[in-house]
């Protein structure tokens, strides 16, 4: 807060730390404090699990809209700028058009400095060139222009981010930098202990546990095992909270985990940080899956695959519909059965109570663990390329059996279908398949995924392309179809599809 309230200090602040060190928690708390003091201008929490939150091109437009709400002097200037040209500026010109010009056009002075919080920049899936452009844009304008804004950025110390900020910082006093993993371990562990004790005390009240629970030795053991990782402590707490187990027994299990072998190595190494959380993930998976029969294991792994590979988070209803289409399960999957399959994994998977809620991982480190065979081991591993190939095939199959009517809306004039009625015509599973099938196909020419799927893609584009585009039109996502067709055309494995694509693409504005 000292940095936020100092008008003479640096205007750019980068807080970085390895996975699980609590960056997002700090960002949320910082936003709450800024909001109380009237200093929060805007925030953007990046996330790979949401398409609209994983594109760096959305950060400036989204925060500009928030600034218009939090700063009355900014709003008229933004309206004036957009009135002159309502088209979204290209990335390199966004900050100038949507942040700086509105402030320059206002006649009222903004006396307070507002803070824009951008969390988890590393979660954006854009290429290195766009991330470089974004950081360079922020640095350039804040070094040369006067604006009543400060920017607080968090991320992992990814090369593309670290390299750009490191190059900019020596020539500019505008960047302040803190590395969370360099904070004294005793300070971090003291904070973790406060969190663990508070959560376990609440659990004791809910369950009516005896006075004196939790035992201090078990609390100290969990805190010690967490090292500097808040995500470790948070995962342990969720595991202890699960409805399917006894909290006393579960806490004792977590406290008995020994990391002596790991601790013998340097406690400051990045590798240690992943080994700590990996050991916990392995225990949770082993204890959840070992007690299941073969059919139950298959269902859990299949549902997990859909969740960790999802381009847009799946609803429980969507998961059930997609998997029922495969015919792999002897009995029809219900929403409750899908939810039950995740019951023993509630410490790593956020499971909604109703079918319309989305299922997501609590932290990005869990999918990373599953995709990396060196971290998860051969039993727990989910091969990244094969999983996405399976999901692409599943989406194509689901669309082939779902897009059967000449007019998917059944109205005869789908243009008259109101947006609020879309869900009654298009299920969440069909919407996902139509929007995301192509994004599950890796387009690296060295990887033959599309070659192995070529026959299925050709069949789909030959028989279903117009119905697919109709659904995207109803969803107001026709640009997704344009991008998908363009990607198919650009891959060397699609030469056999050129004749199929030509009648459609000539009618679409592909750029």
CATH code (residue 321):
1.10.10
Q: Could you tell me the pTM of the whole model?
A: 0.78
The Cα–Cα gap between 53 and 185 comes to: 32
CA 89 remoteness from chain centre: 25
Distances (CA, A) of 234 to 25, 49, 227, 241, 277: 11, 19, 13, 11, 11
Q: Which domain holds residue 344?
A: 293-380
Q: In total, how many domains does the chain have?
A: 4
In a domain, 511, yes or no: no
Q: What is the number of other CB atoms lying within 10 angstroms of the CB of residue 307?
A: 24
Q: Is the dihedral of CA 405, 406, 409, 412 positive or negative?
A: negative
State how far the Cα of 252 lies from the Cα of 255, in Å rounded to an integer.
Answer: 5
In a domain, 364, yes or no: yes
- The verdict on 172 and 263 lying in the same domain is no
Phi-psi map region of 52: left, alpha, beta (phi>0 left; psi -120 to 50 alpha): alpha
Could you tell me if 313 and 227 lie in one domain?
no
Phi, psi of 345 (to 5 degrees): -120, 25
Q: Does any domain span residue 7?
A: yes
Q: Is residue 337 domain-resident?
A: yes
What was the pLDDT predicted at 359? 94
Q: How many helices (H) and strands (E) does the chain have?
A: 26, 8
Structural domain contains residue 510 = no
Contact 6, 24 (CB under 8 A): no
Q: Which of 288, 315, 336 is the last residue of a domain?
A: 288
Q: 136-183 pLDDT, tens per residue? A: 898 888 877 778 899 999 999 888 888 888 776 655 566 788 888 778
Q: Where are the beta strands (DSSP E) in 64-183?
A: 114-119, 149-155, 175-179
For residues 448 and 465, state if they share a domain: yes
Among residues 235, 263, 288, which one ends one of the domains? 288
Q: Of 288, 312, 329, which residue sits at a domain end?
A: 288
Determine the Cα–Cα distance for residues 143 and 198; give it in Å rounded to an integer.
43
Q: Looking at the structure, tell me whether residues 219 and 177 fall in a common domain.
A: no
Residue 91: inside a domain, yes or no? Answer: yes
The C-alpha atoms of residue 88 and residue 90 are separated, in whole angstroms, by 7
**Residue 175: what pLDDT?**
76
Q: Which pLDDT belongs to residue 508? A: 53
Answer yes or no: do 191 and 177 share one domain: no
In a domain, 487, yes or no: yes
Cα separation, 61 vs 132, whole angstroms:
18
Low-confidence ranges of the chain (pLDDT < 70): 168-174, 258-273, 405-424, 443-451, 490-511
Q: How far apart are CA 263 and CA 374, in angstroms?
A: 19
Report the CATH number at residue 29. Answer: 3.40.50.300
Whether 265 maps to a domain, the answer reads yes
């Amino acid at each position: 807060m000292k940095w936020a309230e100092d008008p003479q200090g640096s205007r750019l602040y980068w807080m970085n730390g390895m996975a699980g060190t609590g960056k997002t928690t700090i960002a949320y708390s910082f936003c709450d404090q800024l909001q109380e003091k009237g200093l929060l201008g805007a925030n953007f929490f990046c996330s790979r699990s949401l398409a609209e939150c994983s594109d760096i091109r959305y950060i400036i437009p989204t925060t500009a809209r928030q600034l218009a709400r939090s700063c009355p002097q900014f709003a008229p200037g933004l309206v004036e700028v957009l009135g002159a040209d309502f088209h979204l500026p290209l990335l390199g010109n966004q900050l100038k058009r949507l942040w700086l010009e509105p402030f320059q056009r206002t006649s009222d002075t903004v006396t307070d400095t507002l803070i824009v919080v951008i969390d988890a920049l590393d979660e954006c899936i854009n290429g290195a060139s766009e991330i470089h452009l974004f950081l360079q844009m922020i640095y350039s304008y804040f070094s040369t222009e006067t604006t009543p804004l400060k920017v607080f950025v968090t991320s992992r110390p990814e090369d593309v981010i670290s390299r750009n900020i490191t190059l900019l910082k020596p020539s500019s006093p505008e960047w302040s930098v803190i590395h969370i993993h360099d904070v004294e371990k005793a300070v971090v562990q003291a904070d973790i202990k406060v969190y663990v004790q508070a959560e376990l005390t609440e659990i004791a009240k809910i369950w009516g546990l005896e006075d004196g629970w939790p035992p201090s030795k078990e609390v100290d053991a969990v805190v010690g095992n967490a090292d500097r990782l808040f995500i470790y402590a948070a995962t342990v707490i969720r595991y202890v909270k699960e409805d399917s187990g006894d909290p006393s027994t579960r806490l004792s299990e977590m406290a008995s985990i020994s990391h002596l072998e790991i601790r013998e190595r340097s406690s400051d190494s990045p590798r240690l940080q992943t080994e700590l959380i990996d050991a916990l993930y392995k225990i949770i998976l082993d204890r959840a899956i070992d007690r299941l029969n073969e059919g139950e294991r298959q269902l859990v792994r299949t549902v997990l695959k859909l969740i960790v590979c999802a381009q847009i988070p799946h609803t429980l209803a969507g998961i059930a519909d997609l998997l029922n289409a495969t015919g792999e399960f002897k009995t029809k999957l219900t929403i409750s059965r899908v939810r039950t399959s995740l019951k023993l994994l509630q410490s790593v998977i956020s499971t909604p109570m109703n079918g319309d809620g989305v299922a997501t991982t609590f932290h990005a480190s869990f999918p990373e663990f599953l995709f990396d065979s060196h971290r998860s081991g051969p039993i727990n591993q989910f091969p990244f390329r094969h999983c996405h190939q399976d999901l692409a095939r599943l989406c194509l199959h689901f669309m082939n059996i779902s897009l059967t009517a000449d007019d998917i809306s059944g109205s005869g004039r789908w243009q008259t279908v109101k947006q609020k009625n879309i869900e009654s015509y298009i299920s969440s599973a069909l919407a996902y398949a139509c929007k995301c099938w192509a994004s599950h196909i890796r387009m690296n020419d060295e990887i033959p995924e599309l070659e192995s799927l070529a026959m299925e893609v050709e069949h789909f584009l030959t028989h279903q392309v117009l119905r697919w585009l109709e659904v995207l039109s109803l969803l107001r996502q026709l640009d997704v179809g344009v991008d998908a067709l363009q990607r198919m055309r650009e891959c060397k494995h699609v030469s056999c599809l050129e004749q199929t694509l030509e009648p459609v693409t000539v009618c679409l504005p592909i750029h």
